Amino acid sequence: MAMNYSGKEEDGHPSGAGPGAPAKSRKPDNTAFKQQRLPAWQPILTAGTVLPAFFVIGLIFIPIGIGIFVTSNNIVEYEIDYTGTGPSNYCQKCLNTSWNSTPSCNCTIYFSLDTAFEGNVYMYYGLSNFYQNHRRYVKSRDDSQLNGDKSSLKNPSKECDPYRTNDKLPIAPCGAIANSMFNDTFQLFHIVNGTKIPITLIKKGIAWWTDKNVKFRNPTENLTDLKNAFQGTTKPMNWRNPVYELDIQDPENNGFTNEDFIVWMRTAALPTFRKLYRRIERQSSREPTLAKGNYSLEITYNYPVHSFDGRKRMILSTISWMGGRNPFLGIAYITVGSICFFLGVVLLIIHHKYGNRSNNADIPN
């Protein structure tokens, strides 16, 4: 038997069967769910439940916070601000450099390490007052193009405007993020008895595995044929070399899978940030990776920051099981644990002083 369906009947409206037809009731069904009669657990906050909770939280959080804080402080860091302004006027002669200055401006900074760096050492570059979290900046990219899609290579997304085309040729990679890629270079030397000993800076393994192997791919698997794969495209306006020549020395580290490029394309959440530049691996278990002594840092200064009052830094750092130095997490644990423990003591005193009085007042004569 066929039945007629009416959306109005389901909503509680009359179906229009006739002027004398009674209207359907809007009252919910008499069920435990619709009448809100489901069983519920409502905790009763008493001194016997609240006070132990405060003390347990305090006793757990404080040791964890102390452990994290001590671990963070054991990380060795050394930072050099080489912007060219301020108290440390290193590289002042390069302050007014531009993206495509020819020849490049070079400067050398001499420094000393008072503490030896044990274990693997990581070299970072840091920028300040650079807002990679701006909405239009973050959207200015074409992920399909970066993933090696050939149609997107020649026809980039409109999100890349105004860095989508140049001289009527599509830009690869397109967008503001790629166009502003950091391009300073560093060389580190250990000075022993007046002789400069170069320190090997490893450029592989600095990008996330998922970025290197999943998100970023070249339009061809033949790495020796990258120039032909990018034929018909042009480089970003602020770049010195096309994308297939980002690393001339290592063809496997070229194109969209260049690790320096991949690291830069992962935008930072805050205007002051650091990004991994190179790794320094420990060569011997008997000797530190970077011993105490004198060092020199040779910088090819290409990246202009003076126009937006930015600053540039080079950071050498070791890491621990929790990553780089970050005392905030340990301080947060200690603070929360201390507050809970303090509140537990205060409430215990109040309960001991006034709790019995309240119980006696409730007892009838």
Q: Prior bond to 219 cis, omega within 30?
A: no
Compute the distance between CA of residue 215 and CA of residue 213 in angstroms, rounded to an integer: 6
Same domain, 312 and 334: no
Asked if residue 25 belongs to a domain, the reply is no
CB 125 within 8 A of CB 182: yes
Same domain, 310 and 333: no
Same domain, 56 and 177: no
Same domain, 280 and 213: yes
pLDDT of residue 44: 83
Asked if residue 358 belongs to a domain, the reply is no
pLDDT of residue 135: 93
Residue 263 has pLDDT above 80, yes or no: yes
| Beta-carbon count within 10 A of 222 CB | 9
Compute the distance between CA of residue 293 and CA of residue 111 in angstroms, rounded to an integer: 9
Asked if residue 30 belongs to a domain, the reply is no
Total count of domains within the chain: 2
Exposure letters 253-263 (e unless 16+ CB within 10 A, then b)? bbbbbbbbbbb
Strands (E), 114-173: 121-128, 165-166, 169-170
Same domain, 90 and 121: yes
Asked if residue 333 belongs to a domain, the reply is yes
Asked if residue 112 belongs to a domain, the reply is yes
Compute the distance between CA of residue 110 and CA of residue 90 in angstroms, rounded to an integer: 10
CB 64 within 8 A of CB 314: no
pLDDT of residue 10: 44
DSSP 320: B
Compute the distance between CA of residue 50 and CA of residue 30 in angstroms, rounded to an integer: 38
Dump pLDDT digits (tens) for 147-193: 999 999 999 999 999 999 998 999 999 999 999 999 999 999 999 99
Residue indicated by tokens 């074409």:
142
| Beta-carbon count within 10 A of 221 CB | 9
pLDDT of residue 222: 79
Same domain, 346 and 244: no
Dump pLDDT digits (tens) for 293-321: 999 999 999 999 988 899 999 999 998 88
Same domain, 82 and 65: no
pLDDT of residue 17: 53
Same domain, 307 and 339: no
Determine the distance from the C-alpha atom of residue 90 to the mean position of all C-alpha atoms in its chain, rounded to a whole number. Answer: 28
Same domain, 341 and 220: no
Lowest mean pLDDT: which of 95-99, 129-133, 215-219?
A: 95-99
Domain with 62, as residue range(s), is 51-75+324-351
Same domain, 303 and 332: no
How much of the chain, in percent, has pLDDT values that exceed 70?
Answer: 90
Q: Which residue has the higher pLDDT, 88 or 284?
A: 284
Asked if residue 13 belongs to a domain, the reply is no
Same domain, 236 and 285: yes
Asked if residue 31 belongs to a domain, the reply is no
| Beta-carbon count within 10 A of 68 CB | 21
Same domain, 262 and 162: yes
H or E segment to which residue 58 belongs: helix 47-73
Asked if residue 14 belongs to a domain, the reply is no
Q: Which residue has the higher pLDDT, 21 or 190?
A: 190
CB 320 within 8 A of CB 75: yes
